[in-house]
Amino acid sequence: MKTGRKAVILSIAMQWRPIDELLTILGEHAQKDCDLILLPETCLGNEPIIQMDGEEIRQVSAIAEKYSKYIVFPVYRSTPQAERVNSALLFNRKGELVGAYDKVYPYWEEYNLIPPVATGKEVCVFQTDFGRIGIAICFDVNFTEIWRFFRQEGVELVLWPSAYSGGRSLQAHAINYNYYIISSTQKSDCHVYDLTGQETFYGKSGNIGVFRNEVDLDRCIFHQDFNITLRDRLLKEHVDEIEMDGWHEKEGWFTLCAQKEGVSARALAKSIGIEELPAYKKRSEHEIDLIRGVSLRGG
């Protein structure tokens, strides 16, 4: 039985591959049951620099359309403004290029390439048919403003193509901002963290790692503050429809998920005024700033 709002993410983690080999790998795995395929950072290497009207774009687009998959295709590309940008290109199920995120914090060695990398200007959020996603790339993991922006924009899942594994740096963002994070790296490994920061999966391969993970984007997290009575009422009124699938005593958190097809734990909680943890923290920050008379973030 399908419950919640599930998305299946296929992380294909590997070192650089030439375009013909990468397309073979992508075409093979696009036939599998998944919603989105995530490839690692600069999956073709430092060269070629992809032209947006080039054959590589058409070929990846054709695979996305043929198999009705979202594909995140991270490459160096050229733009009218720059000869080289470290980008993650997002194709939708129709094969349309619906967006591109340009790495806001390139790694220092990228500035030594010829031509050197240009620096991305903005963080991007994308709406898919299964939920709201953000994309960050490798060195971006070290800069919290990106990850905070994702939370402010209601991101439910962050995809992180990278050259290295990330580990606890990724986990910290999942803990602080309460969304899922899935990686695909040149180290042929994949981390998955849930919205509590729990590592729910780690896989590594000596060559090509193909890692399938299902996430429930309807699953939601709350603080115990002001919510326990409402939570108990909700669970009593909707027995066999939703359940509390996690209680984190030290943090004072609990999570709810749907148990019946067509039921949304998030919508039911909202209907009786249970405020999700990210919204609670955002509202608390704003209201306490007003009491203080100044924001500690300078805004």
Residues 251, 160 within the same domain: no
How many domains are there within the chain?
A: 2
Name the band, by pLDDT with cuts 50, 70 and 90, for residue 3. confident
Domain harbouring 54, CATH code: 3.60.110.10
Per-residue HEC secondary structure of 91-137 comes to: ECCCCCEEEEEECCCCCHHHHHCCCCCECCCCCCEEECCCCEEEECC
| 31 CB-side CA count, 13 A | 5
The torsion angles phi and psi of 161, rounded to 5 degrees, stand at -75, 140
The pLDDT tens digits of the residues spanning 98-113 come to 999 999 999 999 999 9
What is the pTM for the complete model shown? 0.97
Tens digits of residue pLDDT in 124-153: 999 999 999 999 999 999 999 999 999 999
Given a contact cutoff of 8 angstroms between Cβ atoms, the answer to whether 47 and 78 are in contact is no
The answer on 234 and 212 residing in a single domain is no
Domain annotation covers residue 299 = no
State which of 185, 216, 247 marks the end of a domain. Answer: 216
Give the domain-ending residue among 186, 216, 246. Answer: 216
What ranges in the chain are assigned the alpha helix state H? 19-29, 55-67, 144-152, 168-177, 228-237, 265-271, 277-292
Residue 125 lies in domain: 6-216
Last residue of a domain, one of 201, 216, 231: 216
The answer on 20 and 165 residing in a single domain is: yes
**Does residue 112 lie within any of the structural domains?**
yes
